[in-house]
Structure 1
Amino acid sequence: MTTSGPQLISSRDNAWLKDLRRLAQDAGAWRKQRQVWLEGDHLCRAALARGVKPATGVFTESAWSLADASLASAAPRNVVLPAALFSGISGLESPASIGFVLALPDEPALAPMAPTVVLDRVQDAGNVGAILRCASAFGFTQVVALKGTAALWSPKVLRAGMGAHFGLSLIDAADPSVLDKLAVPILTTSSHQGGLLHQQQLPWPCAWAFGHEGQGVGDDVASRASAAVRIVQPGGEESLNVATAAAICLHASAAAAPARL
């Protein structure tokens, strides 16, 4: 619970506000500051619903005056900004009016038997965030992002994930050798080889690996895979967007897993 009223910051040259601006706009600032910026009512409430405890709440003046107790008392410290200053730190085209600063969660150890999603050099932040949402929705509890993948805790991936981060065990910037610790079969997708997805008996638990938007999974991942599968595409497109392919594959696993429905 907060022990005092909010701090009002009205100068854009305030040192703390400068750090917050970097955290919101610089894709790598979270590593240096060991903090994460969540912007918007939906993302903040999604974090609270998962038991996340923010370090600082940030509100526009009007949002603070309307904030309910769940938001106003979520953090031990609250900062109130004029709307123009909040807009100046926002990473959104249409700035929100509330945000949370969180301490960066400690990275967990890899769970060998967990249903897992492996991201191999998936570079688009929107794709990464969308895949995290699919992983959470379809019962995959662990995500391993290999080096070269868009950083899981970067602002754009956080926004695209829409709160999925807080229901997942996330391992970022991992070396492919970490996959040797998995005790579940690794499955990959391919546009030109392997059996058709809808004809396969899918193992559960398993790990699905999704690769670079143009190149697919690399040799380090492919050599560790138990099988490659294709998604039927009667319309004749050369390939699917990686997030779309992930949604199809993860749903197929969830539907086939025993006692999952």
Structure 2
Amino acid sequence: MHLITSRENPHVKAWRRLAQDSTAYRKSGQFWLEGDHLCRAALERGVRPLQVVLTESFQLEQGNAWVGLTDQVFVLPDTLFASLSGLESPARMGFVVAWAAENQVLPAVATVVLDRLQDAGNVGAILRCASAFGYRQVLAVKGTAALWSPKVLRAGMGAHFGLQLIESVSPAEVAALHVPLLTTSSHQGPFLHELLRRGELPTQCAWVFGHEGQGVSEYLMAMARLSVRIAQPGGEESLNVATAAAICLHASASAGL
């Protein structure tokens, strides 16, 4: 193990960039995972870190459990680790993991398309739902929050490691999918629960979820085979996009059971 105590150490500066800059992974080819739960989720999916970073307190409690994953294990004072963390409540350990952009769209698998979603929490929550309900691929249209940013990784809770994730996809790549595109609408189309009851909801499909304020773009809406409504008997005007995604993805998954 290597002890580091200086804020000016090159490793500390690099970790701080990865932890606080949402797109730093694209330039460095590495991303930052923070917290033992998220790091364990990565290990369970076969991911191995390039570097392990522990606080002194965590090293005393559990350090032996993380030895052997890599020969680059670093120990920092708790206050120094907290200074590089991007979380309001910093964890006490993290991984640096190699990253490479995916660029091969799988045309015939169940897919989620994210159309310029801005909120990292929403994006991470949708990735988690996609993984839970059997979707294999997520395509992010340019303008969507960075999929491998620390905040999205945190919200995804390990879902990233079971999905094919492709950023900055073009309309042509979405149009080339061999599965039908489905969107949601607050004012037109059949109700989701009625489609499910009649057995008319596709299981192999691509659900498109749009910008929190603007919704799905016109060009993607025009590609959709079906636009559906979610019943809201309580009378709210709309649902949070991550909530709507959970309902839609679960409905399609249920249709195949």
User: Would the TM-score normalized by the shorter structure come out above 0.5?
Assistant: yes
Equivalent position SS for 1:80:
strand
Provide TM-score, normalisation by structure 2.
0.95
How far the C-alpha of 1:61 sits from its partner, in A, is 1.3
1:126 to 121, 125, 148: 121
Contact 2:49 2:96 in 1 (8 A): yes
CA-based RMSD:
1.2
Residue 214 of structure 1 deviates from its aligned partner by 1.0
Match of 1:249? 248
Map 1:5-84 to 2 at 5 A: 6-67=1-62, 70-84=65-79
1:184 and 2:183 matched? no
Runs of 4+ with deviation above 6 angstroms: none
Amino acid at match of 2:245: A
Aligned-partner residue type, residue 221 of structure 2: A
Cα separation, 2, equivalents of 1:66 and 1:177: 52
- State how far apart, in whole Å, the 2-side matches of 1:140 and 1:69 are: 36
C-alpha separation in 2, matches of 1:253 and 1:20: 40
Q: Given the alignment, which residue of 127, 132, 141 partners 1:137? A: 132
8 Å CA contact 1:110, 1:181 repeated in 2:
no
Give the alignment's TM-score, normalised by structure 1. Answer: 0.94
The answer to whether the Cα contact below 8 Å between 2:101 and 2:166 also exists between their aligned partners in 1 is no
Code of the residue aligned with 1:128 in structure 2: it is: V
1:134-160 deviation line (CA, Å, top 9, x unaligned): 000000110001001101011111111
- CA deviations over 1:81-125 (Å, ceiling 9, x no partner): 011110001111111111000011441511111110000011100
Cα separation, 1, equivalents of 2:4 and 2:211? 43
Tell me the equivalent position of 1:208. 207
CA shift, 1:66, in A, is: 2.3
Mapped to 2, the partners of 1:121 and 1:108 lie a distance apart of 18
**Helix, strand or coil at the partner of 2:223:** coil
Where do 1:145-160 residues align within 5 Å?
145-160=140-155
1:170 is matched with which residue?
A: 165
Q: Distance in 2 between matches of 1:225 and 1:159?
A: 31
User: Could you tell me how far apart the structure 1 residues matched to 2:118 and 2:17 are?
Assistant: 21
Match of 1:3 in 2: none
* Uncovered stretches (5+) of structure 1, i.e. residues with no partner: 1-5
- Does 2:107 align with 1:112? yes
Cα gap change, 1:256/1:68 in structure 2, threshold over 3 Å: closer, same or farther?
farther
Q: Which position in structure 1 is the counterpart of 2:81? A: 86
Give, in whole Å, the separation in 1 of the partners of 2:203 and 2:251: 11
Report the 3-state secondary structure (helix = DSSP H, G, I; strand = E; otherwise coil) of the residue aligned with 2:140.
strand
Q: In the alignment, what sits opposite 1:240? A: 239
Distance 1:74 1:252 in 2: 40
CA distance, structure 2, for counterparts of residue 166 and residue 70 of structure 1: 21
**What is the CA distance between 1:70 and its match in structure 2?**
4.7
* Matches of 2:53 and 2:167, distance apart in 1: 27
Q: What does the per-residue CA deviation read over 1:201-240, in whole Å, with 9 as the maximum and x for residues that have no partner?
A: 1112110000011111001211111100000001111100
How far, CA to CA, are the matches of 1:154 and 1:220 in structure 2? 27
**1:246 partner letter:** A
Question: C-alpha offsets along residues 5-44 of structure 1, whole Å, 9 cap, x if unaligned?
Answer: x111110001121111011011121111111000001100
- SS of equivalent residue, structure 1 residue 36: strand
User: Equivalents in 1 of 2:51, 2:231: separation in Å?
Assistant: 48
Deviations 1:48-99, CA, capped at 9 Å, x for gaps:
0100011000001121222265522223311110111100011111111110
Aligned partner of 1:240: which letter? L
Contact 1:64 1:72 in 2 (8 A): no
